[in-house]
Structures are given as C-alpha cells and as structure tokens.
Structure 1
Amino acid sequence: MNEKIENALVKFLMNTANIDDLETLSDWLKKEENKQIFKSYVRTNYAMDINLNEFKSENAKKQYLRKIREDKGLLFKYRLYRGLKYAAAAIIILGLGHFVYQESFKTSIDTSPVVVGNDISVGKNKATLTLENGSEVELVQGNEYHLQNADSNGEQIVYSSKEQTSNEITYNYLTIPRGGEFLVKLSDGTQVWLNSESKLKFPIRFIDGETREVELVYGEAYFDVSPSTENNGAKFKVVNDAQEIEVLGTEFNIKAYEDEFNIYTTLVEGKVKVNTLTEKQVLVPNQQLKLNITNNLMEVVEVNVKEEIAWVRGRFVFQQKSLKEIAKVLSRWYDVNIEFDSKSLEEVKFNGELSKERDLEGILQLIKNTNYINDYEKRGKQIILK
C-alpha cells in the first residue's frame, strides 16, 4: 500500500477525507486484492463479514463503492465517558454496519442476536394538513393531493404564489407525527422543513407588503426564508409562545419541543433578531441562542451549524450528547418509547453520526456492542436499555 492510499484510508476512517481522497480510495478498491487489504487494515467484526460477504456479491460491491464516494460522513465516531474515567474509543461505520476498534482497545464482541425480526419502521415523509375550515388531509409519501391553492406529491406541499385578492388572512396547519418529516413551500417562496413531532401554523397567502408571520406551535423547523427584496420589503417573523424571531432573508433552525425546557435558535446565514418579553438578541451566522422558558434566560454560543441542521439532509449528529438525549431523538424518528433500566446509563456521552435511513435494530445493536449496555429488550414500540 503506497503512502497516498494509506493517507486516504486513514483520513476516511477519521472522517476527514475530501472528495479527492474518496475518489482515490474508490479507484483503489476496484481491485479485488485491495478489498482484502482494506478488510485486514480496519480489523472489522462480524458485521463487516455479513455485509460485504468478501465482496462476492456484485450488489454488495456496488453498494460499498457508492457509500465510499458519498461525502456526507459515513462514520459514527464516539467516545464514552463515565465520570472522569477514560473509556475505550471506537469507530462505527454506520452506512455499512461496520464496527472497528482502535488497535489498543481491541476486544471480543457478543454476536448473538438480541431480538428477532424488525417491526419498527424508519421515519418517512408524512403529515396532517388542517385546512381553514377545520377539515384534515393526510399527506403520505407516494400519494398526490391537489387543493385550490396548493399541491402535494406526498413528500412536500407547495402553495400558490398568486397575489392575494383580499386583505383577509386564512391559515392552514401542518402537523408532523412521530416517525415523520415534511417540507412546505409557502406562497412567498420560503421553504420550511419540519422535523418529527412538529406543528406549523401559516397563512395560505401573505398580504402583499405586510409582515409575513408564521407560528412554530411546537417541534423543530428549518427555515430558508425568501428575502424581503423579493416581497416588496416585507419582513418575515416566526413566533411561538416564548419568543419572536424577525428576519429579512436568511436560513435558520428552531427547536422548540413541548417536552423540553429550552428553545434553540441556530443561525446558518443572514441575520435574525430574537425577541422575548424581557430581552432582545441579534444573532450572526454560526451562533445559537438557548432560551430557558422556565426563567426566560438567554445564552448565546458558537456552534457547528452543519451538525445542528444535519437532520435536514438525512443525518443525526451527536456531539457530547447523553444517551438520554439521543434516545429522545431516536424515539421521535422511529415512533418508539426508549426507557432505561438504570439511571446511570442515561448520562453516558456519545459523539457520533447516524443515517436516518438506518433501521433502529442496527442502531441498538451498535450501542450494545459498546459494552455500556448489557442488553436491550423490545416490547412492541417500547425499548428498554439494560
């Protein structure tokens, strides 16, 4: 193995490879003998043997090479901490279901299956649209729906950009259940991605020249706002019970779930002003405002926005998140309830990246393989970590 290949391989495993590195590695893996070198180099466990099957399957080859070329983070890297004790570091390549230990922390793994079968579905595009007259329409992936002022293909709903003929504003609601997500394009061109367990209130059409206002009733939403220059100078506002966000044209994320004490506003591009009953705060890109709704205190921190909005591009990214926090995210996406047999498990910290397309069974097995949980039990939609 020459130095260029080795460097590309190391950077791939450390999730720092650029497109050139990935292309180099992809070309190198076209040779059968190199695939065997790769297997030896990363010292994989049974999951790799099952998934790759020594590359005898042509479909497995194609799938693997396609995964290598994806520049969206194929690795799930995590570190575990218990108090001040240093725990073993490991790397999980989730896109393929591989588990790789660093040389100094190599250990045995229990490969016996914990649960047979998989009746828990991965989340998908689905929503309930509540019309101005109170009637409800189920928007489901694969089905089309047409209204007088909007059309849906089951993955998104697009509202007409025709000019408002009256000054009366009528509203629709879009509610996303657990295990769902959806995109709505408002009449002004603003796009809103709604995460699981979220609800948005919005006008069917905005009044020309007047402030455009929507309400994130609860949940998480990513906004790509049509600029005021394209809407006769009209400002755009997002409100909820605890705060008001005023923008001129920008991209930002709001997380305001009903079962959490904090609201997180993360600015990707542009400029926003967050107003509460007692304070005002202007954010610049890469800043996140945390608002504690119990005491109305604000805190602004620098964040990695790509990690914060990874859910929009089909990824979960966890940086120093507790297993309890991770379980909450997984519960919403897979529509399950995850509980802990021991309180100490809740605070185990992880750094990692997961594909939202991965089945929950595989994720639970990977968590089990860390040896920080002994087992897990599945009772319908209830998961118990032990």
Structure 2
Amino acid sequence: MLIRMNEIFPISRLLIKKKLNVLNEHDRMQFKKFNEKYPFLKEVNVEDLLEEIEAYSDIDKEQAWKSIQNKYQNRKNKSRFVITRRSWFKYASAAIVVGIVTTFLFKKEIFQSKEEITPIIVNTNQDIIYPGTDKATLTLGDGSVVALEKGNDFETKSAHSDGQKIIYNHENKNTSKITYNYLTIPRGGQFYLRLSDGTQVWLNSESQLKYPVSFNEGETRVVELIYGEAYFDVSPSNENKGSRFKVLNKLQEVEVLGTEFNIKAYNDDFNIYTTLVEGEVAVTSGEQSKKLSPNHQTKLHLESHKITVHDVDAKSETSWRNGVFSFREKPLKDIMKVISRWYDVNVVFENKDLESITFKGVLGKNQDLETILETIKNLSIIKNYEIHGKQIILK
C-alpha cells in the first residue's frame, strides 16, 4: 500500500522522534497505527532522511547526528536517555518537529497516491482544518465569472482548464482592442496559470492577477498583480520577437527580459517585496529604480515610497510554490499571516508578546492546521492554542 499524501509529514516526524526515543504516548499510538498500515516503514533509514534536510534547513546535520549518536552510545552505561531543551532545539528541532524530512521518501516514490484521504483525528474535541487547494475564480472579458476547481473543466476559444490550472493558447496577435481576464485566488487557495506567450505564473492564496487573453506582437507584455503574491517564470524576449515583460502593482513596476521572480504585495502588508530567483529585473517606483541580481529582494515601503535592497535566500522566500513554508527568523505575527491565508482562518494572539517571537524552520503545506500548531507548541513558542471554527487563539 502506498502512503497517502497528507500522511507524509506526520510519519517522517514520528520516525525521527522514535530514533531519538522521545515519543510520547499519543505519538506511540499514532506510530503503531502507521506501522500496522505500512509495514515497510520499519525499513526506512532515518540517517538517510536526515541527509535530505540540507535543501530545507540550515541545521548542521553532521554535528547534529554525531551528537545524537553519542547520546545513544552513552545509553549503554546509563539508565535514562535525556535530551535537554537546548540540545533538542539546536540539533533536532528542525528535523523532528517541523516535518521537513520527506524528500528522501519522495525520491523512493512511496508516497504517490490518488486515494481519498481519511484524516487521523488528533483531538476529537477540536475541528480539523485542512490545508488549501487549487481553486480560483476566472472573470472573463464580458464580465461573466467561472469557478475553477477540481472536477470543473472549462474551455473557451482562448483557454482551457481542468479546474486545477488554466492554460491559454500560445498565440500573440495584433489587435486594436485587448481583452483582459482576471484570475482571483481566495483564502485557502492557490492556482497555476500559463499565459499566451508561455509565461508561467503561480498565484498564492488571496491574490488577483489581471492579464490579456493574448499579447500584441512586438509590444511590451504587461500584466498587473492587483494584490497578493505571485511567482513568475517569464517567457524570454527572444521567443516573443524581442518584446519585454512588465508586472505592474500598486506603486511599482517590474521589468524583465526573461527570468524568474516573486512579488508579494498583500493588502494588509505595509511593504511590497520583489525577490529575484534567476536573471535580472528592474524595480521602479516614481523616480527610483533598482536592478536586482539573484538572491536579492527589494522592499518598497508603501507610506514612504522608499525602495531598499536586501540579500535573501530566494529559494526560501519562494518555497510556498513547492509545497512548503520556509521561515528564517520570522516573527510569529508574520508567520501566522501566511498560515491564516492558506488555511482560511483568523488568528488571535491572546498574549501579544507572542507576536514578536521569531521562528526558524519549514512547515509542510499539506498538513492539517492542528499539526502545524502542535509543531509551534512543541518548540515552546506558544504554551497552548484553541480552535473555534475558523478562529485560532494562541496563548
């Protein structure tokens, strides 16, 4: 039997916790169920799992595992095996608690399944809040609105969709009147779009993009990120008769020739962030203009209109596109903004001091919300939490 997709992270977490001998009673019950369901888990090599963490964490794996092995060796002469909070966090938290150890298992191709998922209920007294899905609404040039989601196929003369992505026909033509479509992603959603010039766009939850059904040949290709977050893989100009590509949003425009970059411009943020992954872009606002090279990010402050440039890890900043949230010393307030959009919930900080506590780690987007909250709780970032429908209270 193949492991179901949303069981990947819990299983990986339990495998490593078992290796460190820190399973609690609830963990043991879950682990027993997984072992009965998937007997081959006994053959998974935890050391190999840890070797795959490098792409997702700054943890020093070699030193971490040496420390772990030494502790196990010392068990021969001791009646108890103790992991202090300090060593736990330094050597194991990213691997054990955060759920970032599934790459090895993905490569073994043991986690691919299209079966319907029956969730494991962690606490029957609380609602299970599931992660977001591929869904959007498409507004056509005539004003009509189409719901795009799994199971709803849609087709026009210019585009077709299987409900989980929308592809526009590869054609650019000259016309005096350009027809625009709007793709709107709700909270708890994400969507993939391929424009008529071949440019690929991944839209994050709570986002809206305006774009032409087809571009005029030889003219600058222009789209507008009305709000939200989008990752662009732009079709190069040499494949589009030399035409440049621009993304407009609020107070700035981003011009490219052919590259990959991310724009984050949510309505409830005070800044617009543009992160370059590959190539080169120019970010312009008013009389200011900044050129970016890979792993650089501009921050445009919406009140002062000032643009600053910062070094970032572009892979981490854009990890949402690949099914994970990667946080590097981010305050919990900002992290919960991301979480709230993906799970379509409202987060209340009962203790306001929690808002500024920083977190470093990676969370899988396919986990249910309670698993995410348990992760944060196990790291002693919060003492407790409550789930009341769509409201999350952090204590």
TM-score when scaled to structure 1? 0.78
SS of the residue 1:52 aligns to: helix
Counterpart in 2 of 1:82? none
Contact 1:129–1:174 (CA<8 Å) still a contact in 2?
Answer: yes
Superposition deviation, residue 148 in structure 1: 1.5
Partners of 1:62 and 1:301 lie apart in 2 by 43
Instruction: Give aligned-pair identity as a percent.
Output: 49
Work out whether 1:246 is the aligned partner of 2:255: yes
Residues 1:339 and 1:38: Cα distance change in structure 2 (over 3 Å): closer
Q: Which runs of 5+ in 1 are unaligned?
A: 1-25, 27-34, 79-85, 99-112
SS of the residue 1:57 aligns to: helix
SS of the residue 2:386 aligns to: strand
Partners of 2:383 and 2:124 lie apart in 1 by 14
Partners of 1:66 and 1:180 lie apart in 2 by 35
Partners of 2:43 and 2:338 lie apart in 1 by 27
Number of aligned residue pairs: 332
Work out whether 1:45 is the aligned partner of 2:16: no
Counterpart in 2 of 1:357? 366
Counterpart in 2 of 1:230? 239
Work out whether 1:385 is the aligned partner of 2:394: yes
Work out whether 1:217 is the aligned partner of 2:226: yes
Superposition deviation, residue 362 in structure 1: 1.2
Contact 2:35–2:42 (CA<8 Å) still a contact in 1?
Answer: no
Following superposition of structure 1 onto structure 2, how do residues 1-386 of structure 1 map, counting pairs within 5 Å?
39-41=18-20, 43-46=22-25, 48-53=27-32, 56-59=35-38, 61-62=40-41, 65=44, 71=52, 89=89, 91=93, 92-95=96-99, 116-164=125-173, 166-386=175-395
Residues 1:125 and 1:54: Cα distance change in structure 2 (over 3 Å): closer
Contact 2:155–2:161 (CA<8 Å) still a contact in 1?
Answer: yes
- Deviation digits for residues 9-65 of structure 1 (CA, Å, limit 9, x no counterpart): xxxxxxxxxxxxxxxxx9xxxxxxxx9998354534345423432974252645994
Contact 1:161–1:189 (CA<8 Å) still a contact in 2?
Answer: yes
Superposition deviation, residue 141 in structure 1: 1.9
SS of the residue 2:38 aligns to: helix
Partners of 2:43 and 2:142 lie apart in 1 by 50
Residues 1:322 and 1:341: Cα distance change in structure 2 (over 3 Å): same
SS of the residue 1:374 aligns to: coil
Superposition deviation, residue 364 in structure 1: 1.3
Superposition deviation, residue 96 in structure 1: 8.7
Contact 1:51–1:97 (CA<8 Å) still a contact in 2?
Answer: no
TM-score when scaled to structure 2? 0.77
Partners of 1:316 and 1:170 lie apart in 2 by 35
Partners of 2:380 and 2:56 lie apart in 1 by 19
Partners of 2:175 and 2:128 lie apart in 1 by 50
Partners of 1:311 and 1:204 lie apart in 2 by 26
Q: Which runs of 5+ in 2 are unaligned?
A: 1-11, 60-85, 103-121
Give the alignment's Cα RMSD to 1 decimal.
Answer: 3.1
SS of the residue 1:188 aligns to: coil
Residues 1:244 and 1:319: Cα distance change in structure 2 (over 3 Å): same
Could you say which structure has the higher strand fraction? 1
Q: Choose 216-225 or 135-144, whichever is displaced more.
A: 135-144
Q: Choose 43-52 or 357-366, whichever is displaced more.
A: 43-52
Residues 1:39 and 1:361: Cα distance change in structure 2 (over 3 Å): closer
